[in-house]
Amino acid sequence: MNSLTITRRILIQFKRDKRSLALMILAPIFVLTLMWLVLDSEKDTLNIAVIDVPDAFEERINEQEDINVITMGENQAKEEIAEAELDAFILWEDGKPSVTIEGSDPNSTSIVKEQLQNVQGNDSDDMKVNFWHGSEELGLFDYVGPVLIGFFVFFFVFIVGGVSFLRERTQGTLERILSTPLKRSELVGGYLIGFGVFTIVQSFLIAGYSIYVLDMYMDGRFLYVLLVTFLLAITALSLGTLLSAFAKNEFQMIQFIPLVIVPQVFFSGLFPIEGMAGWLQAIGQVMPLTYGAEALRGIMLRNEGFTDFQFDLYVLTAFTALFTLLNIYALKRHRPL
């Protein structure tokens, strides 16, 4: 199959171009390490459910700013906290409040604790605190880590994939291989497989380094992390090669970073988006990184199983399919057949 011929060529090129190889693996590892060194431990409305607590206690919580108190049953509260819709719930046990904090967002965790201490005043020692996910040690780095893994893989695959496809055009080899019986789909397929093989290695190294060397909080299965990272990388590759059709040179390819990459960061979960206007949140829904980051966070912080994050995988696959088909179509400019 012709795609495999292209795959083999891409892998040889990678072997020769050690710098690009290093960019895709060492650069993310380097930046993640920096983040880890710099970050150690901001604010929105907290959703706290109260279950059969005395009215006086409920009133005191209600007096606190930025807390949205909801009354519900214990089972419902457990269900909602599992899906991260609640930040905490409070039960009443032996005449004392028993708090369960969602725990995957260290910012919320510290605010919940702070607010409840205000409520309790001097009696705060009497309060029992449990964590649904994670533990008290979950730092900011652990919280943003999964998003960063996804982001760096996306970013570097986008750039290297886009530029190498662009160079195919600028050095004339695109025209040359299109003057052979090679199908346009075989060319795009060859790129997907060639980079695919490479991104498996890349995902493995970056995720492995973050989790086992930097000791990023990890509650879920490593295989799932690899699966999501790999799919995200393939999405980045298909987007990068598609957009390279609209760049005349490498510099114009770099110009896509502020247009395509940076906006994705804002919606990927690094910053809370719950407070944004609805139309603004909708923008996040059309960005691949949103889904990749959500899935990664679910797996690493909340130990989500396949059924919990499969929707994100389907969306990423759909993005890849869309970008790939558009790319095959865009190549018509270089050969009508």
Partner 1 sequence: MTSVIVLQDVSHRFDSKEVLSEITLHIPKGEIFGLLGPSGSGKTTLIKLVTGLLEPTSGDVYMNGEKMPSLAQMKRYGFMAQSDALYQELSGKENLDFFASIYRLKKQEKKRRIKELLEMVNLTEVADHPVDTYSGGMKRRLSLAAALLHEPEMIILDEPTVGIDPVLRQSIWKELNRLKDHGVTIIVTTHVMDEAEKCDRLAMLREGRIIAMNTPADLREEIGADTIEEVFLHYGGASQ
Instruction: Supply the minimum distance, in Å, between the C-beta of residue 169 and partner 1.
Output: 10
- Using the structure block, give the residue that is written with the tokens 């929707």: 311
Instruction: Supply the minimum distance, in Å, between the C-beta of residue 33 and partner 1.
Output: 29
3-state secondary structure of 132: coil
CA–CA distances in Å: residue 300 to residues 86, 98, 142, 248, 309: 19, 26, 9, 40, 11
Instruction: Supply the minimum distance, in Å, between the C-beta of residue 9 and partner 1.
Output: 5
Instruction: Supply the minimum distance, in Å, between the C-beta of residue 189 and partner 1.
Output: 13
How far is the first Cα of the chain from the last one, in angstroms, to the nearest whole number?
19
The answer to whether residues 61 and 50 touch, using CB atoms and an 8 Å cutoff, is: yes
Q: Which is nearer to partner 1, 178 or 260 (CB)?
A: 178
CA angle, corner 265, sides to 264 and 270, nearest 5? 135
Tokens standing for residue 323:
């970008």
- Where does the chain show beta strands of DSSP type E? 46-50, 67-71, 88-93, 96-101, 128-131
Length of the chain: 337
Instruction: Supply the minimum distance, in Å, between the C-beta of residue 12 and partner 1.
Output: 6
Q: Which is nearer to partner 1, 8 or 113 (CB)?
A: 8
Q: Which is nearer to partner 1, 278 or 333 (CB)?
A: 333
Instruction: Supply the minimum distance, in Å, between the C-beta of residue 324 and partner 1.
Output: 20
Q: Which is nearer to partner 1, 31 or 182 (CB)?
A: 182
Which of 116, 167, 151, 132 has its CA nearest to residue 228? 151
Q: Which is nearer to partner 1, 128 or 176 (CB)?
A: 176
Residues binding partner 1 (CB under 8 A): 2, 5, 8-9, 12-13, 16-17, 171-173, 175-183, 334-337
CA–CA distances in Å: residue 127 to residues 10, 25, 315: 60, 46, 43
